[in-house]
Amino acid sequence: MEIRIIENTQNQECDVLIVNKFENENTISEIANKYAVEEDKFEGKLGETYILPTYGQEKHRKIIVIGFGKKEEFNPNKLREAIVKATKKAISIEAKTVAFKLEGVEFDYSEQFTFAVKIADYKFDKYKSEKKDKKIDLIYVEACEHIVRKAEKIADAMAFTRNLANEPAQFATPSELASIACDLGLETIIYSKDECEKMGMGAFLAVGRGSSEEPKFIHMKYTCENPKKRIALVGKGITFDSGGLDIKPASSMLTMKDDMSGAACVLGVMSIIKELAPQVEVHGIIAACENMPGCSAYKPGDILTAKNGKTIEVDNTDAEGRLTLADALCYASELKVDEVIDLATLTGACMVALGTQAAGIMGNDSELVKNLILTAENSGERFWELPLWEEYADSLKSDIADMKNTGSRWGGASTAGIFLKKFVKDIKWAHIDIAGVAFFENAHKELGKGASGAGVRTLLKYLLEQ
């Protein structure tokens, strides 16, 4: 799909012209006002569409009127939601060329518009033997060229992440993630199981022991001249989470190919980083393995030693993400970067707390957390801060080791967070729990079903803002 910037879209020859209508205003298109508004009482509620044939009277076969809702309530998120709907509508009537004429929007919509049409264009049909070739080839819009081009790259990274997280676990194995990382053209090191053992990553390796897939520890690095900051991005990379010996019930296991969504996000960010060229050094770190109950699997009661020497009693093999992250965070801390940001589909508890509306965020530096929340808001994502009080560590006390990997059921997202904190040393750190937002079982209003690319827009914008 190509997005072409032109000065006046209204007279552009195309299959479909899309015009907007606020609830309390008419649209600029006369024929839309005559038929949609006056005759058919189209109100223009947010996301509502009205299709108007032009019977060869205009330069376009059809007009789609898209409702923008109440003008005083309109904002970039609503714009994105409406544009996704309108674009999907145009796709459904097999439009190949579409022009947008947007009137009365009081902010620069270039970025969110681009995200929206690219999101509407996304589908994961790789494994369908019959592919529907309903795709828009060309979009005309009046917008700011350089913002559109940058947003296109961010949206491409998001699609990269979604493809990876939608990929079944049989293909998206730890080795596959490692090979994808190697193909990104960055400075990349892949540590094998033996090398991880030498580095003392006893927590990470324990999780992968029950699987026939080899664990891989991935470290990608992007740098530029005189970086303003050095940032490590750490992604949870459990390519399948069966729960291990504490096996999950079937219904909870269904979506667990998505347990590498944090890793997929980091790979998505790294996939476009050279082209976007932020003024920061960025390390992408993934401890990738599969959590399976094979005959060598780690067991409840086992004691593991993490890279920083801390000992962990395994209380539940299904709390595996924090074990892999423990070693990854130790590794990131040793890089002596300025900030560490991890993303993980870490707890069902976070999903219980925030639903599918927001990722939970916590950390040891309130400014970093605040900045990320703000950047998320400006990118079309939602992060919500959860507390990280030291008392959450009380229930992690072990009789025979430094700590257990699980504690009280209550406040599970914060308990997981405080566990991770023990492995971050003297560095600003934020932890983003994307369990509720990384993969939708029920269709999301914009993103539909499946992987969402959570975190990509926010992280890329955050890096570009430095």
Which of ligand BES, Mn ion, Zn ion, none binds 316 (CB below 5-8 Å, type-dependent)?
Answer: ligand BES
**Options 21, 322, 421, 461, the catalytic residue:** 322
Which of ligand BES, Zn ion, Mn ion, none binds 327 (CB below 5-8 Å, type-dependent)?
Answer: none
| Interface residue list for Zn ion (CB under 5 A) | 238, 241, 259, 321
Using the contact rule CB under 5 A, the part of the chain among 31-39, 193-201, 310-318, 345-353 near Mn ion is 310-318
| 348 is an interface residue for ligand BES by CB under 6 A | yes
Kindly identify the residues of this chain, within the stretch 318-337, that bind Mn ion according to CB under 5 A.
318, 320
Cα dist. 245→242, 303, 343, 403 in Å?
Answer: 8, 15, 25, 20
**Options 248, 299, 370, 382, the catalytic residue:** 248
CA proximity to 220, closest of 170, 263, 168 = 263
Query: Within 10 Å of residue 309's Cβ, how many Cβ atoms?
Result: 10
Known active-site residue 248: yes
SS3 state at 60: strand
Which of ligand BES, Zn ion, Mn ion, none binds 401 (CB below 5-8 Å, type-dependent)?
Answer: none
Cβ atoms of 46 and 82 within 8 Å: the answer is yes
| 246 is an interface residue for Mn ion by CB under 5 A | no
Tokens at 382, concatenated: 């939602």
Kindly identify the residues of this chain, within the stretch 282-311, that bind ligand BES according to CB under 6 A.
none
Cα dist. 260→135, 156, 159, 266, 296 in Å?
Answer: 29, 19, 15, 10, 22
Cβ atoms of 263 and 181 within 8 Å: the answer is no
Which of Zn ion, ligand BES, Mn ion, none binds 412 (CB below 5-8 Å, type-dependent)?
Answer: ligand BES
The H-or-E segment that residue 110 falls in is helix 110-121
Kindly identify the residues of this chain, within the stretch 257-286, that bind ligand BES according to CB under 6 A.
259
| 208 is an interface residue for ligand BES by CB under 6 A | no
**Could you give the CA distance from residue 139 to residue 120 in angstroms, rounded to a whole number?**
12
Nearer to ligand BES, 158 or 435 (CB): 435
Known active-site residue 322: yes
Cβ atoms of 362 and 385 within 8 Å: the answer is yes
Measured at the CA of 431, the angle between CA 191 and CA 196, to 5 degrees, comes to: 15
**Footprint on this chain of ligand BES (rule: CB under 6 A):** 241, 259, 316, 318-321, 345-349, 351, 406, 412, 435
**Footprint on this chain of Mn ion (rule: CB under 5 A):** 241, 318, 320
